[in-house]
Structure 1
Amino acid sequence: MIIELIKADITTIEADAIVNAANSSLLGGGGVDGAIHRKGGKAILDACMAIRNKQGKCDTGNAVITTAGNLPAKYVIHTVGPVWNGESERNNELLAACYRNSLMLAVENDIKVIAFPNISTGIYHFPKDKAAEIAIRTVNNFAQKEKIEKVIFVCFDDKNYDLYLQRLGR
Structure 2
Amino acid sequence: MGSDPGAGRGNPGGRRVGGGLRPGPRAPAAGLARRRGTATLQPDGRCPGRPRGLHREPWRHLPWAPVVHPVHAERGGIVQAVDTRAIGLAVVALGGGRKRPEDEVDPAVGFSALALPGERVGDEQPLGLVHARDAASAERAAAALRAAYQLGDGEAQVAELIGQRY
Bigger-Rg structure (1/2): 2
Between structures 1 and 2, the one with greater helix share:
1
Give the TM-score, by structure 2 length: 0.23
Task: Name which structure has the greater RCO, CA cutoff 8 Å, separation 6+.
Answer: 1
Give the TM-score, by structure 1 length: 0.23
